[in-house]
């Protein structure tokens, strides 16, 4: 296999990263709509859901960009005069944590106390798994590959070095872990599945960063690992926090509450 591995569709040569990323967004959003309809209770109405989505999108965009700059500050500083290159990088951990913060801010402004994250476990699982396949097919240009290794399943992305296919490790982990959490923990209290998924994913990302050739200025840890630790603390604290009573958030849903 050569990298990047382009798709040939109807005579068009399509780069794998935007192709798989687009598929990930489409599949993830459809899974969210389907999953939300199947939730045990309709926590918030359509209008409030739209504002929550807005908070998630803008939070994810900002978080992914800020953490990317922190991950490679010297490289981004060197390209500070080229806006296109400066805006090119992003990180999944930053997007996930930024989106979470954006949702919490949106809910705070609307006075929503109910936890709404469980409907996101399946979309995140599918979106991350599909997106990371695109990262793998992109090869060295994506810079999500692992360090050199002599293990039998390593991959040469074109530079003659056998490396850990950390993108595939991540796809496999989120598919297995996300499936267990989504389908086996559906009787836990509202919001627990999302936080358990966060704890599992951030723990995995913290560990797998040690087999990536990343810049580690923070006590031999990278910016992504520091963000993972911060997210883990927040998720664990919220998982064991006693939830406050939910309130009705609009007139159409009077009497609709969640635990």
Residue 188 located in a structural domain: yes
Residue 29 located in a structural domain: yes
| pLDDT > 60? residue 113 | yes
Q: Which pLDDT score, from 0 to 100, does residue 255 have?
A: 40
Confidence of residue 77 (pLDDT cuts 50, 70, 90): low
Closest CA relative to residue 195, chosen from 92, 107, 85, 117:
117
Give the mean pLDDT of 181-205.
88
Confidence of residue 258 (pLDDT cuts 50, 70, 90): very low
Number of domains in the chain: 1
11-20, 92-101, 185-194, 207-216: least confident range: 185-194
Q: Is the pLDDT higher at 86 or at 120?
A: 120
Residue 66 located in a structural domain: no
Q: Is the pLDDT higher at 191 or at 38?
A: 191
Residue 52 burial class via C-beta count within 10 angstroms: exposed 0-12, middle 13-18, buried 19 and up: buried
d(CA 123, CA 96): 12
Confidence of residue 190 (pLDDT cuts 50, 70, 90): confident
Residue 122 located in a structural domain: yes
Q: Which pLDDT score, from 0 to 100, does residue 251 have?
A: 39
Answer whether the bond into residue 4 is a cis peptide, omega within 30°: yes
Residue 49 located in a structural domain: no
pTM of the full structure: 0.86
Q: Which pLDDT score, from 0 to 100, does residue 85 have?
A: 57
Q: State which residues form the domain around 180.
A: 7-40+117-253
Confidence of residue 81 (pLDDT cuts 50, 70, 90): low
d(CA 212, CA 142): 12
Residue 91 located in a structural domain: no
Q: Which pLDDT score, from 0 to 100, does residue 174 have?
A: 97
Residue 140 located in a structural domain: yes
d(CA 211, CA 110): 42
| pLDDT > 90? residue 217 | no
Confidence of residue 250 (pLDDT cuts 50, 70, 90): very low
Task: Give the tens place of pLDDT for each residue, 4-61.
Answer: 999 998 889 999 999 999 999 999 999 988 877 665 445 566 667 777 888 999 999 9
Q: Which pLDDT score, from 0 to 100, does residue 49 have?
A: 73
3-state secondary structure of 110: helix
Residue 214 located in a structural domain: yes
| pLDDT > 90? residue 71 | no
Region of residue 46 (phi > 0: left; psi between -120 and 50: alpha; otherwise: beta): alpha
54-58, 184-188, 223-227: least confident range: 184-188
19-33, 105-119, 150-164, 195-209: least confident range: 105-119
Q: Please, which residues have CB within 8 angstroms of residue 255's CB and are 6 or more apart in sequence?
A: 248
3-state secondary structure of 41: coil
Beta strands in the chain (DSSP E): 7-9, 12-14, 155-156, 162-163
């Amino acid at each position: 296999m050569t990298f990047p591995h382009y798709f040939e569709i109807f005579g068009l040569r399509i780069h794998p990263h935007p192709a798989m990323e687009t598929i990930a967004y489409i599949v993830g959003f459809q899974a969210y709509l389907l999953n939300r309809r199947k939730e045990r209770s309709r926590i918030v109405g359509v209008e409030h859901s739209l504002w929550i989505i807005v908070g998630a999108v803008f939070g994810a965009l900002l978080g992914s960009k800020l953490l990317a700059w922190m991950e490679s500050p010297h490289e981004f500083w060197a390209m500070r005069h080229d806006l296109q290159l400066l805006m090119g990088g992003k990180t999944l951990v930053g997007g996930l944590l930024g989106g979470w913060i954006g949702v919490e801010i949106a809910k705070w402004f609307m006075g929503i106390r109910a936890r709404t994250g469980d409907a996101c476990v399946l979309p995140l699982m599918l979106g991350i798994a599909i997106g990371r396949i695109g990262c793998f097919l992109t090869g060295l240009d994506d810079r999500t590959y692992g360090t050199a290794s002599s293990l039998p399943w390593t991959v040469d992305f074109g530079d003659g070095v056998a490396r850990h296919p950390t993108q595939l490790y991540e796809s496999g982990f989120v598919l297995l872990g996300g499936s267990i959490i989504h389908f086996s923990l559906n009787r836990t209290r509202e919001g627990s599945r999302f936080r358990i998924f966060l704890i599992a994913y951030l723990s995995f990302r913290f560990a797998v960063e040690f087999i990536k050739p990343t810049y580690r200025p923070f006590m031999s840890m990278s910016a992504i690992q520091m963000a993972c630790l911060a997210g883990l603390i927040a998720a664990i604290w919220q998982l064991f926090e006693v939830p406050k009573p939910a309130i009705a958030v609009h007139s159409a849903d009077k009497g609709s509450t969640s635990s």
